[in-house]
Each structure stands twice: as structure tokens, then as C-alpha cells.
A and B are shown apart, each in its own frame.
Chain A
Amino acid sequence: MESVSNVINSMRLDFHIQKANYKTFFALGYALAIVLGVVTRTPYVSVLIAMVISAAFSSSLFLVSERNRLGRLYGILPLRKSELVLGRYLYTLLFGLANAIAASLLTYVISLVTGHTVAFLDLSAYVCASFLYFCLFTAIVFPVYFRFGFSKNYLLTNVPLYVLYAAGYGFVRKGNLKDLYGVMRYFTKNPGMIWLCGVGGGLALLAVSYGLSRLTYRRYEQ
């Protein structure tokens, strides 16, 4: 049974592990999000960019851990493997949520600069889709990194996402967007479903991924 205080300590440890990289993340990630939001005159793009970069940044925890041989630290601390895994997922989830909120606020700021009006429904759709992407990315890469490490599997774990991008691009190029009108109409009529699918779906993905990571990391030898 996991101890709550150990899970919180594990989240705190993850924060300290990434602390040195936060300045770079906020300076570069958010600068890119702002620039693209302004240049495309579509403030919603900022949310998307911020969340895509947040997802990549959160997985860099594994890179820092590997580079600094933190497996040894985890091995000597009075911390169960399951607590470490749960702490990392919760920390990542908090990081994703905080960035979704920050990027949403940023969208409003950019809209003031560009003179674009932000519609709450549109913003909801962008935030929820970005959050879902963040969770999908995390759900795919975390179990692999927990079991096999970061360095050797970084490119491999990104393959499903490249396939997803390519499929999305192909879909748009073929002019199949009309097929989505029905879906869009449904979500416009039922805005609550946007949140349910985006946030609920994202959390469900993370829950399944957490179970998998916990199972695989249990046998991991430090």
C-alpha cells in the first residue's frame, strides 16, 4: 500500500529533478507558443504548442534521471517502486493541468494583442484536444521509459505519434474534413462532451498507462 507522504515526496523529488530546466522550458516553449499564436493570428494555436512542448518536457524527467544515475538514489531511498511511479504520474498530470491553464490565459492575452475574439467553446475544444494529446503522449512513453529507459527508446516511443501526425495530415489533405462536420456539430450541441472526452479520456489513458508502468517497473532492477 502506497504511503501518501511518500507519493508527495516523490512528486517533490521530480520537481527538484526538473527544476533547473524550467527556465529554459518557459523561455523557449512559451516564446514559441506566443510567436506562433501571434503570427498565425490564431491565439488558440498557443495552447496547442504549449501542450505539445509540455508533453515532451515532462518526459525529459527520465533523461535527467538517467544522466545522473538517479536509479541508485531511488534504490536507497525508503520509497516503494509503486510510490515512485504514482508520484511521477501525478506530478506529470499536475504539470499538464498547470500548463493547460497557463496556456489558456495566454490565449486571452494574445487575443488582446491580435484583436481576435476568443470564443469559450473554441478555446475549450483546443484545451481539451491539447490535454488529450498530452495524456496520450505520456501514456505511450512512460511505460516504455520505466521499463527500458529513455536514451535507447526515445525515437522508438515517438513513432506512434509521428504516425498520428502523418495520418492527421493525410486526412486533412484529402479534404475529408467534411466528414468531421457531424462530429463538430455534435460537440457544439453538447459542449460538456468536449470536456468529458478531452479531460476524462486523457485521465483514462493515464490511468491505464499508470497500471502498465507499475506492473513493468516492479520487476525493474536498479
Chain B
Amino acid sequence: MRTNGMNNAVEIQGLRKAFRNFTLKDVTFSFPQGYIMGLVGKNGAGKTTTIRLLLNMLARHAGAVRVFGMDNIKDEQRIKQDVGVVFDEIFFVDSWRVSDVERAVKGFYSRWSGQAYGKYLKSFGLPADKRVKELSRGMKLKLMLAVAMSHEARLLILDEPTSGLDPVARDELLGILSAYISDGEKSVLFSTHITTDLEKIADFITLIHNGTVFYTGTKDDLLESYRIVKGGPGDLTDRLRENTVGLERNSAGFSGLVAASELKHPPGRIVAEAPSIDDILVRISAGDGIRE
């Protein structure tokens, strides 16, 4: 993974933000232009906080954020010309018609293209005269996407865009995103707790757990670095118990997540399987404790 220089879409270094009941601690990750980074974690893990800090919607307590090599505070206006954002809930006035949205926001963007907006409305099946409040959840998502992509944003940031969407709408979104990055210049930061979406399209994954980064790197490395181990009651050695995350035990045996490097010489009848991102997320959320 390229980690420095102008080729990175986003570089976050040692980001920290403390709230009364939650602290985002030393969050560090980066990803190059032209790729999709998935930001994964359970609800409340710190994904949205990270995104809001990136957009300077929250004031950070420590760390640095660079987008396309520019400081996110010093060059905030320039960066926001290049960034399109989709949140889990729409942020346009519900009495606006779809055509009003363009009138309200186009002046802010130097590269706004009315032609592109019209094209996206057409291809997404969004009627220009329909009011925002009359749109379905999937249509609202598409409207935010149309706005985000009509000013030639080089980075799309999506915060939990698929929660509450049916599988067809989710699949459509993934198709739109794949087409969007196909020029090799545009990038996507996609936060979600529905990890199956990311398994289809993400190149990189950053896994956040309780405000800290558990893993950041390529999706393939993540999936190769861990194994789900399963074995009978007698197969759980002390060493394996120490190194297993999210250990579950029952009368038939045990299962848990283990670093692949720990399995060079797996004991006895232990079965090791490639995990899904969901498996990893569930196991690290369960923590070091043992579930009986």
C-alpha cells in the first residue's frame, strides 16, 4: 500500500477525539487514489466520528488529516470542492423538489455540472419534480449520490449508506460505485457495518473497534491474516486459548479467530477456515473473553 506523497487520497495520522463516554484513539490509516477503502466496525466503534473529523465537522484533539496531500483544516475549502459525501440520512430540506436541490447547492461548487446532474437523475430514475420527502430511502441515497458526483468529486465519502436498504438497492449502489472509480483517479471511503457490501468492492479495509484501529491494509491481506479455528473440547491448548479472539465454547468444542501466523503447526484435529470480514468483526467485538 502506498502510504505517502500526493498519490494518497486520504492519510490520517494519530487522530484523537475525546467525548465524555467515548474516545477515538490514535486512528491511523491511508489509501491511494483510485481505490475503495472500507471503514468497518460495529455501531459506535468510531466510524462516523472519524469521517466527521476528516470533514472538519468536529474539532480534533490530536493528529493530522490530509486529503489529496492537503491539510483538512488549512485547505478545507479546496478539499471540499473535491469531496462528495453521502450520509445515512438525507440532509436536504424535505419540501425541496429534486430540481431545487441543484439550485440550492450548485453555486458552492466551481465544477458543478448541470448536465451531469440531469444525467444522474435520469439514470437513477429520479423525477426532478418530486419532493425530497416523497422519495424512498433508496431514492434519497441516489439523490445524495447525484449531488456528490455532479461536481466532479475525486473522493466520495459514504457513511453507512446501505443501512436500511433492501439487497437490490444495495447492489445497485455497489454498481454505481464500481463505475465511479473505473477511471482510476477517483476514490471512495465507505463506512459500514454491513460487511458483505465491502467484500464485493473494497480494495482496502480499516477495521475500527472501540475507537482504535484493529487492522488497516488490503482486504486480501486481512482475509489471509486470520483464520477461524474450530476443534473438539480436547483440542484447545493453553497457547491457542491465549491467542484466540472471540473464543466460543460449547459441549461440541470451540471456535474462535486466530492470526494465521499462529497456525503454522495446528494441533491435532483443528480445522482452520478462511474468515469473512463479518466473522472477524463479530469475533473482535466479542473480545478476549470466552463465551460458553
Contact = CB atoms under 8 A, between A and B. Distances in A.
A78 B103 CA distance: 16
A33 to B, nearest CB: 25
Nearest to A65: B93
B108 interface: yes
23 contacts: A3-B77, A8-B107, A9-B107, A12-B104, A12-B107, A13-B105, A16-B103, A17-B93, A19-B100, A20-B96, A68-B91, A68-B93, A69-B89, A70-B93, A73-B92, A75-B55, A76-B91, A77-B105, A79-B80, A80-B76, A80-B77, A221-B57, A222-B52
B109 A78 contact: yes
Given A69-B91, A70-B91, A70-B93, A77 B108 contact: yes
B62 interface: no
Contacts of A77: 80, 105, 108
Interface string B77-96: 11011011101011111111
Given A77-B108, A78-B77, A20 B95 contact: yes
Contacts of A67: 94
A62 to B, nearest CB: 13
Nearest to B109: A78
B107 A76 contact: no
Interface SS, A side: helix
Contacts, number: 73
Interface of B: 52, 55-59, 76-78, 80-81, 83-85, 87, 89-96, 100, 103-105, 107-109
A75 B86 CA distance: 12
Interface of A: 3, 5-6, 8-9, 12-13, 16-17, 19-20, 64, 67-73, 75-80, 219, 221-222
B91 A73 contact: yes
A79 B90 CA distance: 19
A64 B93 contact: yes
